[in-house]
Chain A
Amino acid sequence: MSNLAMVEAVNAAFAHEMNADDSVVLLGEDIGVNGGVFRATVDLQERFGEDRVIDTPLAETMIAGLSVGMAAQGLKPVAEIQFMGFIYPAVDQIVSHASRMRNRTCGRLTCPMVLRAPFGGGIRAPEHHSESTEALFAHMPGVRVVIPSSPARAYGLLLAAIRDPDPVIFLEPKRIYRLHKQQIEDNGEALPLDVCFTLRDGTDITLVSWGASIHETLQAADKLKEESEISCEVIDVATIKPLDMDTILKSVERTGRCVIVHEAARTGGVGADIAAQLAEKGLLSLFAPVKRVTGYDTVMPLLKLENHYLPDVDRIRRAVKETMEFA
């Protein structure tokens, strides 16, 4: 057992899988000697060699395109995009190729690659370093989009992502990279993809979130319990594509209320899809409209205002109270 922060858990998962499987290679900008700008790949080049932890030329389309080629020819590349704000040149490769290589060839070629990127706000970073655009990828058929919210889930979900036979976009909420540590046994056990994790059982309302926002959501749940005796069920979606609606629906069937929390802008966010599916499949269980607490539909502000953009404990609390008071 080791006490690991999320970014250290990412590193531990890499080390484990690279020991176990020669076909796993890492590529990206500054991931080798420097160990990544967040140190997610620290020491790995020294341990596994330059041909497995590869510092690439500075070109994001290339990083993704090389990964597609490697993955189609038997490697399991894990590519790092330094910040999600630089991922857009790579989107072409994901939507045009990675997501459809299996389909286009009827399974003759596949694309078992992982594209990782730190994402989200709250670390006082420069422009383009703080957005949450996971919904872009969630809209693409043929990929998985996975977002851990704790060191243990980062370890287990990253292992699962690397072993998955299809492309996975693995987004790491950098605000919580070093927020807290967890005891993790480095036993190579993956967590399941495509399922939500219920972090807290509750009876009055279901709070659905993912990534860094899970932490404000849990804090809000604690406060609501303490100040108003409101019992919140908290669900970490974890795999936002494909969505595990069964877990969310079952919870809402019991609680009759739902608030969705995410950092990303509201319009077209993954919360919209969850709300739509609740309306389609769970309407008769609902006592109140589904509410969303999200980033606003504006450009992510620079660091002076970013905390006003991000969903905070107070906004979540207020949304829960309004939902409880509706009926």
Chain B
Amino acid sequence: METVASFEIHYRQYLNAEGRAVDELPEFAKDADVLQRFYRDMVLTRTFDKRAIALQRTGRLGTYASSLGQEATYTGLGHAMQPRDVLAPSYREHGTCFVRGVPMSDILLYWGGDERGMAFEKAKDDFPVSVPIATHVLHAAGAAYAFKYRKEPRVAVAVCGDGGTSKGDFYESINVAGVWVLPCVFMVVNNQWAISVPRAKQSRSETLAQKAVAAGIPGEQVDGNDVIVVKDRVEVALTKARQGGGPTLIEALTYRRHDHTTADDASRYRSRQELESEKKKDPIERLKHYLIAEGAWGEDQDRQLSRECEGEVDAAVDQYLNTEPRAPETMFDNLYESLPTLYQNQREELQAKWKRHE
């Protein structure tokens, strides 16, 4: 008998749950301005999130997927990426989109039921929100192929959840990215719950990161509630991919503190105690503690920041609520580049009906 393959999976963390540095921080994290910017983006994401839920509860937004508790993962990812890289998100990565310049009003517009919310001008090559689980991970591999084919120094980043790694699409993506040495980063946001099914029921695999092993690509874990380690390790993976070193799988360990979406009720399947203990690992609190301990933040600044974020979200909500509605017949306008005659008739039928009711 001989061992023909073996593997190790590494877990990394810079800031522990109390906000103390457990390792020497990477260079960028020694700059207080940079960490304040991360902090700000996480607070903004949480402020947005609360407001979006309030809008949904009052009938002014459709179903919405909260990112409460996962802000460090999304903010860190956004800051690691370069503008020309491409994001293939699932449906919870609002925080990353904001860092990439997508206006909050557009994200509200989309979840408010208007396709124009995915027509944003910044990050214009980013893929739209993708609801069917892990299907979009393949798009990142396809995009990465296009970049490699044209010799562009760009990387495609796919984000999916712990449940997503159970799908064939996920394995097919990491497998082909490995074979073709694609400039791709696969970000598995392990928030422990796929609606009501806990992580332990998704896979007997000890870590999700080790799924990379079967595809012959490196896989690692990071503390997804530590924005510094997320930004650091994703950036390392992106740089490697950009230089032709191929794909990496990063499993970010975090926790979904809200219901799956506003249409869900997590109290049906998980305990109050579990939720309370996860709150102690809050990503925003830990960075705040660290910044305060470093003398780079204070409660006055914090209150000021809260007011600023509320103000920005107010403006986004105003813009969203005051968006001119689309004419019903425009539902045909982006079906094909030009609408075939057969459907032109249906468009006119709808237009005529609507005009009668005006």
Contact = CB atoms under 8 A, between A and B. Distances in A.
B227 interface: no
A93 B115 CA distance: 19
Interface in B133-176: 135-147, 149-150, 156, 168-169, 172-173, 175-176
A93 B334 CA distance: 18
Given A57-B179, A97-B130, A103-B334, 8 more contacts: A59-B168, A62-B172, A66-B145, A67-B142, A69-B140, A69-B142, A97-B135, A242-B342
29 contacts: A51-B149, A59-B172, A62-B138, A62-B141, A65-B138, A65-B139, A65-B172, A69-B145, A72-B127, A73-B125, A73-B143, A74-B146, A75-B145, A77-B142, A93-B135, A96-B132, A96-B135, A97-B135, A103-B335, A105-B118, A107-B334, A108-B118, A142-B335, A166-B336, A242-B340, A242-B341, A242-B343, A243-B342, A244-B342
B169 A61 contact: yes
B139 A97 contact: yes
Contact of B337 (A89, A102, A141): A102
A245 B346 CA distance: 14
A66 B176 contact: yes
A137 B176 CA distance: 26
A57 B216 CA distance: 14
Contacts of A77: 142
A185 B355 CA distance: 51
Nearest to B121: A108
Nearest 3 pairs of A and B residues by beta carbon: A69-B142, A65-B138, A69-B139
B197 to A, nearest CB: 20
- The secondary structure that dominates the B interface is helix
Contacts of B88: 69
Contacts of B176: 56-57, 59, 62, 66
Interface residues of B, number: 44
Contacts of B137: 65
Most buried by B among A61, A89, A101, A244: A61
Given A103-B334, A104-B118, A242-B340, A75 B172 contact: no
B127 A93 contact: no
Interface in A68-100: 68-75, 77, 89, 92-93, 96-97
Contact of A69 (B116, B138, B172): B138
B119 interface: yes
A95 B43 CA distance: 37
Contacts of B83: none
A110 interface: yes
A25 interface: yes
Interface in A100-146: 101-110, 141-142
Nearest to B340: A242
Contacts of B244: none
A321 B275 CA distance: 75
Contact of B169 (A65, A71, A242): A65
A189 interface: no
B128 A104 contact: yes
Nearest to B110: A104
A75 B149 contact: yes
A65 B125 contact: no
Interface of B: 86, 88, 115-116, 118-120, 124-125, 127-128, 130, 132, 135-147, 149-150, 156, 168-169, 172-173, 175-176, 179, 334-337, 340-343
Contacts of A72: 125, 127, 139, 142-143
Nearest to A99: B335
Contacts of B169: 61-62, 65
B132 A65 contact: no
Contacts of B341: 194, 242, 246
Contacts of A64: 138
B343 A70 contact: no
B127 A65 contact: no
Contact of B142 (A65, A92, A103): A65
A67 B86 CA distance: 16
A109 B124 CA distance: 8
Nearest to B116: A106
Nearest to B136: A97
Contacts of B168: 59, 61, 89
B119 A108 contact: yes
A69 B340 CA distance: 25
Given A61-B169, A62-B173, A109-B127, A69 B115 contact: no
A243 B137 CA distance: 33
Contacts of A67: 142
Given A93-B138, A97-B130, A105-B128, A75 B146 contact: yes
A268 interface: no
A70 B124 contact: no
B132 to A, nearest CB: 5
A243 B345 CA distance: 13
Contact of B146 (A73, A106, A142, A242): A73
Nearest to A62: B172
A69 B342 contact: no
A122 B116 CA distance: 47
A57 B214 CA distance: 14
Contacts of A70: 142-143, 145-146
Nearest to A77: B142
A75 B156 CA distance: 15
A11 to B, nearest CB: 22
Contacts of A96: 132, 135
Contacts of B140: 69
Contacts of A107: 119, 334
A102 B338 CA distance: 11
A58 to B, nearest CB: 10
